[in-house]
A and B are shown apart, each in its own frame.
Chain A
């Protein structure tokens, strides 16, 4: 272990709850070392833990976390989730889950452990690599070492990203070789089924698509049970030159789960990438989308829909960095908030000085269905180039009364009219999904959720 960096001892100023984090790390490290994890990863994990211990959890004093408090996460016990195995309830949940009908390769994780019996991965002749993180760090050691080291050492994923890598047990590693076209989406299903309060799951996904390849990856987070838990997920995406790639995330976790996630994307020149975030579940969710448009001629779409009811908080934090000229990035986020739900949207587009001819557009539209629902929205442009086309806008409103009256005047009940308008509002986002099978699934799922929305039948009078 000589080559591995050391973790500084706790000083008097360290928060007392970090003791549990340190203990968990020691135990976890002995497991991973026993399992033969490479030195570089052990060392990287230690550096990440050190980074986390130094920075701590983000607090509301951080500008980027002003509306989202992690107090409940901090005060929860810190215990790493153990696998719940292919339990009958999990099998049933998977069978009825949103993308169960979508064919193609599939990896299933339960509490952050890969469950091969429930997965469907094939070593195909086209050289596409789909495997769990734990085996990938052995099989693709050099590639992952370079990728993870570069990605985590720039620190843009914050202390939660550091904590994630320190403990990441599993995740999916997808490597698509150059010029390879994948017709079917790769589906990754993450089930959380906490057995005791405060269980933590750390998932690290790495997706690398080669030049001129085409692929779709779907991440689906679902859950069972009522114990409080924390799902931490970081997906590193690297889209090669000229690659066409679609990333779709559906977060539909149980009400007791705190979901803290980052998608970090590095896009190379002439790539065409769409990233979708559908946030429907969990008690509190934070989705960071940190994208760097690193080469010229990129077309990127960041598209999202959040539906909140009860006292959920759904936070999207986007940072899109136009680091090269002649790229287009469009961000479209729509939110529907009912009951006492809160939506948070922060979107920043940064256009660097040499990123001329940038075409950037950002919209965040919110529909509030009840008096107690709230939304905080902050679209921002930071432009250092002078020849660019950038727009942004945010709206917060109720259903259009004229539209409602029009539908009712044709005989539609008020509840149906409201559902139609809500669904249409959500549909703007769903329509942008390229993968037809996924679009159908999302349309049905969102319609079902809208059916259940409490305030659809509230009278307008």
Chain B
């Protein structure tokens, strides 16, 4: 079976500074992987590179998405091909109405996939169904994108977009950070509901607590731009009780 995402010996940096120092992982359909690691280990850099953010230099290695070179695609083509990044810091876009934006995005994606575009009524029916999943107020759709949203609303809005766009590969960049326990459960529930046998999820997190509610097939620990350990979900619990220090020491000893 072909992996949905295959990262092979990826080395990358920003402004001449190398951040990722050789990352390899494979995510197969139906799988959810978690990447954990201390601050500054390169987690968000990896998320940004997968989504196609400007300003990163690829030094070595490759990233294949369903067998295709992901890195040569523009951010919009990645989205249309089914890659979705839930932003760590969702961007406020004053003046752009949320519903208008989401409908435009969905129709771009549908058009690309050869599906008919949805009209306003069809779109509203769809989004109202999805919005219940995230326990969000429908009024948010009338507001500008992320403007005046609370921290929790912004994160839930990311998962709402994910629910509407139905990506094949979702990368969630610290979607749990800044959430209280109720919001965390809602987000986790949303992510769980979107798990399908033919899609894959990569959850990037600093804390183990999200993993109380969503159960990854694999946990990778990223330290200083390298995956220093990969194991089952029990690794997350070990990190929670022992912290990152022991694994950082372990990594230094090996290198």
Contacts and interface: CB of A to CB of B under 8 A. Distances in A.
A424 to B, nearest CB: 3
A75 interface: no
Contact of B76 (A401, A402, A414): A414
Contact of B93 (A401, A406, A411, A461): A406
A412 interface: yes
B54 A411 contact: no
B79 A421 contact: no
A411 B109 contact: yes
A49 interface: no
A229 interface: no
Contacts of B161: 410
A461 B75 CA distance: 11
Interface in B104-119: 104-106, 108-109, 112
Interface in A395-435: 400-403, 405-414, 416-417, 420-421, 423-425, 427-428
B79 A408 contact: yes
Contacts of B79: 408-411
A402 B96 contact: no
Given A405-B54, A461-B54, A412 B91 contact: no
A460 interface: yes
B128 interface: no
Contacts of B90: 406
Contacts of B76: 408-409, 411-414, 417
Interface in B58-115: 74-76, 78-80, 84-85, 87, 90-91, 93-96, 101-102, 104-106, 108-109, 112
B124 to A, nearest CB: 18
| Residue from A406, A412, A420, A460 whose CB has the most chain B CB atoms within 10 Å | A406
A414 B93 contact: no
A413 B108 contact: yes
A387 B109 CA distance: 55
A393 to B, nearest CB: 16
Interface residues of A, number: 25
A159 B86 CA distance: 59
Contact of B85 (A409, A420, A425, A461): A409
A366 B51 CA distance: 30
B96 A410 contact: no
Interface string A373-409: 0000000000000000000000000001111011111
A406 B74 contact: no
B190 interface: no
Contacts of B91: 400, 402-403, 405-406
Contacts of A409: 51-52, 75-76, 78-79, 84-85, 87
A321 B21 CA distance: 62
Contacts of A401: 54
Contacts of B95: 421, 423-425, 427-428
A416 B144 CA distance: 17
Contact of B74 (A402, A408, A424): A408
A270 B17 CA distance: 61
B165 A424 contact: no
B73 to A, nearest CB: 11
| Residue from A410, A411, A421 whose CB has the most chain B CB atoms within 10 Å | A411
Nearest to B79: A411
B248 to A, nearest CB: 31
Contacts of A408: 52, 74-76, 79
Given A403-B91, A420-B96, A424-B96, A411 B112 contact: yes
Contacts of B252: none
Nearest to A461: B54
Given A410-B79, A410-B165, A460 B54 contact: yes
Contacts of B78: 409
Interface in A250-270: none
A461 B53 CA distance: 10
Given A401-B54, A406-B91, A412 B96 contact: no
A421 B94 CA distance: 8
A423 B84 CA distance: 25
Contacts of A406: 87, 90-91, 93, 145
B115 to A, nearest CB: 13
B31 to A, nearest CB: 22
A332 B4 CA distance: 49
Interface string A422-461: 0111011000000000000000000000000000000011
A411 B165 contact: yes
Nearest to B83: A409
A427 B161 CA distance: 24
Interface string A127-165: 000000000000000000000000000000000000000
A403 B54 CA distance: 12
Contacts of B74: 408, 414
Contacts of B106: 411
A29 to B, nearest CB: 51
Contacts of B75: 405, 408-409
Contact of A421 (B53, B85, B87, B93): B93
A403 B92 CA distance: 7
A407 B76 CA distance: 8
B96 A405 contact: no
Contacts of B104: 412, 416, 420
Nearest to B144: A424
Given A401-B54, A412-B76, A407 B101 contact: yes
Given A408-B76, A409-B85, 16 more contacts: A400-B91, A403-B91, A406-B90, A406-B93, A407-B93, A409-B84, A410-B108, A411-B76, A412-B76, A413-B76, A416-B108, A420-B96, A420-B101, A421-B93, A424-B144, A425-B95
16 contacts: A403-B91, A407-B93, A408-B76, A409-B51, A409-B75, A409-B87, A410-B101, A410-B102, A411-B105, A411-B108, A412-B101, A412-B104, A423-B95, A424-B94, A424-B95, A424-B96
User: Which 3 pairs across A and B sit closest by C-beta, in order of nearness?
Assistant: A424-B95, A411-B79, A410-B105
